Amino acid sequence: MSTQEVIFYFLGGLGIFLFGIKFLGDNLQKIAGDGLRNMLDRFTTNPIKGMLAGIFVTILLQTSTGTTVLTIGLVNAGFMTLRQAIGVIIGANIGTTATAFIIGINISEYALPIVALGSFMIFFLKSEKIRNVGRAILGFGALFLGLNFMSDGLYPLRDAQIFQDLTISMSDNPLLGVLIGTIFTMTIQSSSAAIGLLQTLFAQGAMTLDAALPVLFGDNIGTTITAVLAALGASITAKRAALVHVIFNVIGTVIVLILLSPFTALVQFLQGRLDLNPEMTIAFAHGIFNISNALIQLPFVAVLAWIVVKAIPGEQKVVSHKVEHLDEKFIAQSPSVAVGQAQKEVLRMAELAEQGLEETIAYFKTKKTSHRDYIVQYELAINNLDQTISDYLIKLSSQPLSKQDSELHQVLLNTIRDIERIGDHMENIMELTDYKKSKKLDFTETADAEIEEMFELVRTTFRQSIRSIEIHSKEEARGVVEKENEIDRMERVLRKNHIVRVNEGACTGAAGIVFTDIVSNLERIGDHSVNIAETVLEG
């Protein structure tokens, strides 16, 4: 086989393998729906549950990186604490060993029929659910097909003198093997592909077990790079979660390198005792390494959390996405209490919306990313509370309620819809600020001052509308209507002022469009505020 053929077979096989892993994981996630995210959100109350959830999700996603990135996203959005995330990350490292075991089954000769089966399901069946299963099967077959091509391409390496010398060097110097495994996995950003390649080389006799094991440990370190990249622009807590992933794998590698001789002897013993094929031998080594590492470090979750907090100092406001006052037992036992609890949760939702508005004006003024991150968190929290409170109130509607409670129940249902819409307008203003920032559009000082004045009026109007519900005050509600009329008048004045500035050349047309869109969104927030107040006036 020529050098060109070796390169083409290897690169093509690697590409098909990566495609298979991605296609398999993506479609397993589609089959599971939102269940994976919900599982991580709900079943991570302690490190052990978090670890089990991490194992299960990673097996379905077929990538520890995917689980870790998803976890970082949940941490960044406030759904998960740092300690909960550590348990999931530990579980993800165990779950990722599933791919190596699948490869160890060694059903490569059936790769083409598996690909054919998946393709037939995609093209000849109409059900989208069945098509997703077909896509997952296609990805599974592509995984083994890619391994076949890589195996063909790498076979000549077993006789290459330079590769034999490198293998000897890695056997004599395990740190070199760790470095090679780390760099290669960081490059292709897939530990599954790197370990699959390692299994192929070991199966062909191109590498000894002494040389392969350090590379295996390096693969586990290299897989952390994607999580680190995902956390670069995220919150402080998300950065800490990514650092935990790195520290966990580095500590595990250091421990196993110290005990490399007995570890190697154990793997060789299992290989002979269980009559393992070469691919399964590497899979067992990978599993033993990650499970042992998890058992060693799981009792020290608090220590890991302390280390990363010291390494990445700083205080960060946490936006809680979870309900604090709702308890379903009150729905049947005491509907009146349940209505009161729902009111408390709606008021908390409104408080989050007001804080989101404050972050929105802060982002408009400063353009700081930290304010933008909080806007996203507040919007996610508002949406989550909207769904949760709505479900609670709908269940409550089937219970007998007094006239007063029934009126309040209807007010709360209407109010959460308006608060959710305010969150949407808040997000719209954030995106307009993003556009203004990216296009380097400038407002005049007068325009900035006008926007800030309208922001403050809108915020206080919204606060007063919530106050009218909190104390059920028609006087406060009438004050909201008066302020909303003032907001409408201000919008008209600001639009006229904008036209004058554009005509005088003080403001560009593009900047003017952003200006009027921001004003329109603020006016709509005023409309939703008066909607809330009117429910009190009608009561």
48-96 per-position pLDDT tens digit: 888 888 888 787 766 676 677 677 767 766 667 778 888 888 888 888 8
pLDDT of amino acid 254:
93
Percent of the chain having pLDDT more than 90? 16
pTM: 0.63
Distances (CA, A) of 338 to 197, 386, 394: 58, 16, 12
pLDDT band, residue 233 (cuts 50/70/90): low
Interval 515-524: pLDDT, tens: 889 999 999 9
CB neighbours of residue 275 within 10 Å: 8
Listed in sequence order, the residues at least 6 apart from 241 whose beta carbon sits closer than 8 Å to its beta carbon are 68, 71, 72, 75, 82, 85, 86, 89, 227, 231, 308
CA distance 466 to 28: 44
Better-predicted residue by pLDDT, 304 or 28? 304
Report the CATH fold assignment for 330-538.
Methane Monooxygenase Hydroxylase; Chain G, domain 1 (1.20.58)
pLDDT band, residue 42 (cuts 50/70/90): low
Lowest mean pLDDT among 186-190, 270-274, 366-370: 186-190
Interval 279-322: pLDDT, tens: 899 999 999 999 999 999 888 888 888 898 888 876 666 666 66
Q: Where are the domains of the chain?
A: 3-311, 330-538
Tell whether the model's pLDDT for residue 164 goes beyond 60: no
pLDDT band, residue 234 (cuts 50/70/90): low
Tell whether the model's pLDDT for residue 129 goes beyond 80: yes
Give me the torsion for CA of 124, 126, 130, 133, rounded to 10°. 50
pLDDT of amino acid 157:
60
Compute the mean pLDDT over every residue in the chain, rounded to the nearest whole number.
Answer: 82
pLDDT of amino acid 426:
92
Displacement of CA 187 from its chain's centroid (Å)? 22
Torsion region of 160: left, alpha or beta (phi above 0 gives left; psi -120 to 50 gives alpha): beta
What is the full DSSP assignment across 78-92?
A: TSS-HHHHHHHHHHH
CB neighbours of residue 504 within 10 Å: 9
Better-predicted residue by pLDDT, 427 or 172? 427
Tell whether the model's pLDDT for residue 202 goes beyond 60: yes
CA distance 233 to 40: 22
Interval 368-418: pLDDT, tens: 877 887 888 888 888 888 888 888 888 888 888 888 888 888 888 888 999
Nearest to 74 by CA among 63, 87, 84: 84
pLDDT of amino acid 525:
92
Percent of the chain having pLDDT more than 70? 87
pLDDT of amino acid 63:
66
Better-predicted residue by pLDDT, 117 or 63? 117
Lowest mean pLDDT among 312-316, 425-429, 434-438, 494-498: 312-316
What sign does the CA torsion over 188, 192, 193, 194 have?
positive
